[in-house]
Chain A
């Protein structure tokens, strides 16, 4: 399967700060990347679809001004949690797919965010 990295693996920050999470596709060019969030004991919830060279598509209920997504190259997408609050504490996972019609997604190792 594809190799996907995320950085950082975990982060602890104070309320009100912004946190940037990087997702890299290491062995193929990904026109589409997905960002998920998982709270404890809950399922992964898709937050947004990141498309290289265009605006991300956000799922209902996800604030696009709070969760800024940039997919500037075919191997890198970033998610910035702006003005983070304790309720944003979660496990953020990205996935990549070669194209939107390709079934399998390859997941990054995730980033655990804790906002104090």
Chain B
């Protein structure tokens, strides 16, 4: 079983739609959680950290459920420019800041 699992998609949604991605992680010692965005053939870029209380950044909302070992990302009012692959990333205690990446969920926002 992969340490970080995501539905690869693709998710095809119309512009303006609300879309949610889920991610599960298997290591209960996981400590820090992030969503990264990766455009085709580019490096990943940090979208937002995920906190236990949940956090919001503009149109993006991230949630963490430690009991279920589950992370989510909600995108409201999707834009064409949101089309990318969204990577769920975790670190764990004793990992020395090593990032473990999920395979990513591909989002395509269409007119």
- With A103-B49, A103-B91 already in contact, the answer to whether A110 and B101 are too (CB < 8 A) is no
| Shortest CB distance B90–A (Å) | 11
Q: How many chain B residues have a CB neighbour from A under 8 Å? A: 21
In Å, the complex CA distance between A56 and B8 comes to: 32
Interface pair B46/A104, CB less than 8 Å apart:
yes
Which residues of B are found within 8 Å of A105, using beta-carbon distances? 97, 99
- With A32-B97, A103-B97 already in contact, the answer to whether A43 and B102 are too (CB < 8 A) is yes
How many A-B pairs fall under 8 Å by CB?
49
Which residues of B are found within 8 Å of A95, using beta-carbon distances? 99
Chain A residue nearest in CB terms to B89: A44
Which residues of A are found within 8 Å of B102, using beta-carbon distances? 43
Interface pair A100/B42, CB less than 8 Å apart:
no
Is B44 interfacial (CB 8 A cutoff)? yes
